[in-house]
């Protein structure tokens, strides 16, 4: 479960919250039959593709504008179209990550049409045009040759302050690739664990069941086997307020939230309106004690895509130029 990683001489992120995010407009958004094989959060709808994309684009635009209005830098990555459509491109946090020493990492995605989303050169250009320069690139995509996958901060929920990575193992989160990434960025601890939904399937992405802020954690611990659950909660509770959510709340994306920082240094927690409504008043009060809550209506995106607000935000820890 727990592997101690050797310390690396890398100046990786020493803050928990990013003040800049990448968002991708959902111009090819649609129900993705490939990812639906292990993503029980996806649902098909009766609307036409054009209707779905219009609704998704409206949700995206409101969310991006409101985040900017709050003081969070939003970089819109209007990616170049390829021969294969990328219906899940609106969820960019699954294929890249960044560190404060200027590194961009890219990851091996499990589904073929999601592998088409990995466009590091185009992303580097978009980042640099927005004042965030990439100094080096590193890729774990070669693990695809071994049919091994690691879908970035979809499967890794990271406590940057304690240099600890939490990850629910699944076909989208291979233990070997996970530990390789942790070693590359110099993070000493990997806490990996099993999960099981009522169907018996594992959680497809860790970030639908848990989120870590600077001083809090939200987690649906009932999906973790008891013998591992105690260890995970004990690790989190060392310096975080642990807010436990139910399976029903997880299904409303209460675990799919992200704490961010504004230009003024204030903290906000981005979440969907569905998640906000599903939190109890006491839980909302707990979260509000840490940061301002910012709910967004992304019902179309989360219902059809099976991911919510956190999945739409690719954190940028790169320093300003």
- pLDDT for the residue numbered 287: 98
Rounded average pLDDT over 203-209: 94
- Strand-pair partners of 299: none
Whole-number Å distance between alpha carbons of 315 and 168: 20
What confidence category does residue 81 fall into, taking pLDDT thresholds of 50, 70 and 90? Answer: confident
Answer whether residue 273 is part of any domain.
yes
**Number of Cβ atoms within 10 Å of the Cβ of 85:** 15
- pLDDT for the residue numbered 111: 87
Which of 243, 229, 251 has its CA nearest to residue 280? Answer: 243
175-204 residue pLDDT tens: 999 999 999 999 989 999 999 999 999 998
- pLDDT for the residue numbered 79: 81
Answer whether residue 198 is part of any domain.
yes
Answer whether residue 66 is part of any domain.
yes
pLDDT at 8 over 50: no
What confidence category does residue 85 fall into, taking pLDDT thresholds of 50, 70 and 90? Answer: confident
- What is the domain extent for residue 284? 2-315
**Contact present, 75 and 130 (Cβ < 8 Å):** yes
What does each C-alpha distance from 263 to 18, 116, 169, 288 come to in angstroms?
A: 10, 33, 35, 19
Q: Name the phi and psi angles at 302, rounded to 5.
A: -75, -30
CATH number of the CATH domain containing 82: 3.75.10.10
Rounded average pLDDT over 224-234: 96
- pLDDT for the residue numbered 46: 59
Answer whether residue 111 is part of any domain.
yes
285: left (phi over 0), alpha (psi -120 to 50) or beta: alpha
- pLDDT for the residue numbered 31: 58
Answer whether residue 321 is part of any domain.
no
Whole-number Å distance between alpha carbons of 113 and 100: 30
Answer whether residue 320 is part of any domain.
no
Whole-number Å distance between alpha carbons of 253 and 272: 7
114-172 residue pLDDT tens: 899 999 999 999 999 999 999 999 999 999 999 999 999 999 999 999 999 999 999 99
**Contact present, 246 and 220 (Cβ < 8 Å):** yes
Whole-number Å distance between alpha carbons of 271 and 18: 15
Whole-number Å distance between alpha carbons of 3 and 188: 8
More confident residue, 206 or 36: 206
Q: Which residues contact 55 (CB under 8 A, 6 or more apart)?
A: 47, 300
- pLDDT for the residue numbered 35: 53
**Percent of the chain, pLDDT > 90?**
80
Which of 288, 290, 269 has its CA nearest to residue 280? Answer: 288
**Contact present, 169 and 192 (Cβ < 8 Å):** yes
pLDDT at 7 over 60: no
Answer whether residue 54 is part of any domain.
yes
**Number of Cβ atoms within 10 Å of the Cβ of 96:** 26
- pLDDT for the residue numbered 305: 85
**Contact present, 180 and 139 (Cβ < 8 Å):** no
Rounded average pLDDT over 248-267: 97
Answer whether residue 192 is part of any domain.
yes
**Contact present, 90 and 29 (Cβ < 8 Å):** yes
Among the ranges given (8-12, 43-47, 177-181, 230-234), the one the predictor scored with the smallest mean pLDDT: 8-12
What is the side-by-side strand order in the sheet with 210-212?
A: 210-212, 216-219, 241-244
Whole-number Å distance between alpha carbons of 140 and 118: 11
13-51 residue pLDDT tens: 579 999 999 999 999 887 555 554 455 554 565 568 888
Rounded average pLDDT over 243-257: 97
What is the overall mean pLDDT for the chain? 91
Rounded average pLDDT over 267-288: 98
Q: 255: which DSSP letter?
A: T
User: What's the structural domain count of the chain?
Assistant: 1
pLDDT at 220 over 50: yes
- pLDDT for the residue numbered 33: 53
């Amino acid at each position: 479960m727990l592997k101690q990683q050797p310390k690396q001489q890398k100046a990786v992120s020493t803050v928990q919250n990013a003040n800049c995010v990448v968002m991708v407009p959902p111009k090819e958004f649609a129900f993705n039959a490939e990812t639906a094989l292990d993503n029980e959060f996806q649902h098909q709808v009766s609307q036409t593709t054009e209707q779905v994309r219009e609704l998704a684009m409206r949700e995206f635009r409101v969310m991006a504008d409101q985040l900017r209005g709050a003081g969070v830098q939003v970089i819109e990555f209007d990616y170049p179209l390829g021969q294969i459509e990328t219906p899940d491109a609106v969820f960019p946090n699954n294929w890249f990550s960044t560190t404060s020493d200027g590194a961009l990492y890219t990851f091996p995605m499990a589904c073929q049409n999601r592998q088409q989303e990995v466009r590091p050169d185009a992303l580097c250009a978009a980042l640099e045009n927005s004042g965030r320069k990439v100094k080096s690139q590193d890729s774990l995509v070669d693990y695809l040759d071994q049919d091994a996958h690691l879908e970035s901060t979809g499967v890794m929920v990271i406590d940057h302050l304690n240099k600890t990575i939490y990850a629910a193992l699944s076909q989208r989160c291979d233990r070997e690739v996970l530990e390789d990434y942790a070693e590359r960025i110099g993070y000493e601890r990997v806490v990996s664990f099993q999960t099981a939904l009522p169907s018996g399937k594992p959680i497809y992405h860790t970030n639908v069941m848990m989120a870590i802020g600077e001083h809090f954690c939200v987690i649906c611990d009932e999906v973790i086997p008891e013998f591992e659950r105690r260890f995970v909660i004990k690790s989190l509770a060392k310096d975080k307020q642990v807010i436990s959510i139910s399976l029903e709340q997880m299904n409303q994306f209460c675990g799919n939230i992200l704490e961010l920082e504004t230009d003024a240094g204030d903290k906000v927690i981005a979440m969907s309106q569905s998640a906000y409504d599903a939190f109890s008043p006491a839980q909302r009060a707990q979260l509000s004690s840490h940061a301002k809550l910012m709910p967004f209506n992304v019902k179309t995106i989360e219902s059809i895509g099976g991911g919510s607000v956190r999945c739409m935000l690719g954190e940028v820890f790169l320093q300003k130029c």
